[in-house]
Amino acid sequence: MPPVLVLGIESSCDETGMALYSGSEAGGRLLAHALHSQVSMHADYGGVVPELASRDHVRRVVPLLRQVLADSGCRLAELDAVAYTQGPGLAGALLVGAAFAEALATALDVPTVPVHHLEGHLLSPLLSARPPRFPFVALLVSGGHSQLMRVTGVGEYALLGETLDDAAGEAFDKTAKLLGLGYPGGPALAALAESGRAGLVRLPRPMLKSGDLDFSFSGLKTAVLTRVRELGSLGDQQRADIARGFQEAIVEVLVGKSLRAVKQSGLKQLVVAGGVGANRELRRQLDAQAARARIAVYYPELEFCTDNGAMIALAGALRLQAGVSGKPAGAFAVRPRWPLTGI
């Protein structure tokens, strides 16, 4: 099929992303992308306020569209399709991106491609200079999701294991609150852990030796709570040591389960995607242990670990290239809860 020019729109939570991707069977390239983060707006509340998030998306979509058009040198009339995040995510935030995408596509008389948010993360390493090839095993650690998937091709995903309660990202954020850290908690805890003393605070490794590929991190968070209550008032070094111990536990479980999944699959490639995939200690440990097992590990560029429009534009283009036709613009529905295996 001829090259397709796809606009990607991401608005599932607290980032508004817009990107233009040109794809063909011979390959593709990201032409431009722009992102607005709402972190500073939500910081005063200690977390995302859905109504404020939705209103801010409304303010950002048109300026970001103008920015990517100017940066790419493309015109609206050249678009072949508009891809947008249909779910999962915050209902109001999703509606902003979906409504804008459908209205724009209707005006341009081009199809739309509703995209699963997690599929965008799953495919985001394909944007890197050294992309993986299908098939591969993927560790998806994004927000409320911790999953291991076997990825055979675009739209061909088999669940190998998933979190039974708190995902890794949720455990990071909740533990950060226990330690008195600000929002967003995950990056703040990881930064604090850098000054912690290795091995000093030993915490449980939940389900590390369970024999399956599922995860459970709520007990780890409870173990931190128990330690904090035992110590009472925490000094700076104590907080850093706990953060280090918590991160060591999370990383050991994620690395152990991921390498086990690759071994059981018979494959030799592991993809890591999602916000927690930016964690430096996770990358260090995975790289070191995967190298010993002769497993190639692939990550998205750091700027594409968190939510962004580039991954949505890429997923939309790949779906079109895979023969999944876009739908006529117009009627639409968002899907705040939507399992990846259900697409």
Amino acid 7: pLDDT: 98
Cis peptide before 184 (omega within 30 of 0): yes
Q: What angle do CA 141, 156, 217 make, to 5 degrees?
A: 20
Rg of the chain over Cα atoms, rounded to whole angstroms, equals 20
Residue 90 contacts residue 336 (beta carbons within 8 Å): yes
Distance CA 97, CA 114 (A): 10
Rounded average pLDDT per 10-residue block, the chain, 343 residues: 91 98 86 97 94 98 98 98 97 98 97 97 95 97 93 96 95 95 92 96 96 96 94 94 98 98 98 96 98 97 96 96 83 90 83
| Residue type at position 229 | R
Residue 9 contacts residue 100 (beta carbons within 8 Å): yes
Query: Both tokens of residue 126?
Result: 């394909």
Distance CA 326, CA 15 (A): 24
DSSP 3-state helix, strand, coil percentages of the chain (rounded to 5)?
45, 20, 30
Amino acid 26: pLDDT: 67
Residue 30 contacts residue 315 (beta carbons within 8 Å): no
Q: Which residues pair with 30 in a beta bridge?
A: 21
* Domains, the chain, ordered by start: 4-123+305-342 (3.30.420.40), 133-299 (3.30.420.40)
Amino acid 65: pLDDT: 98
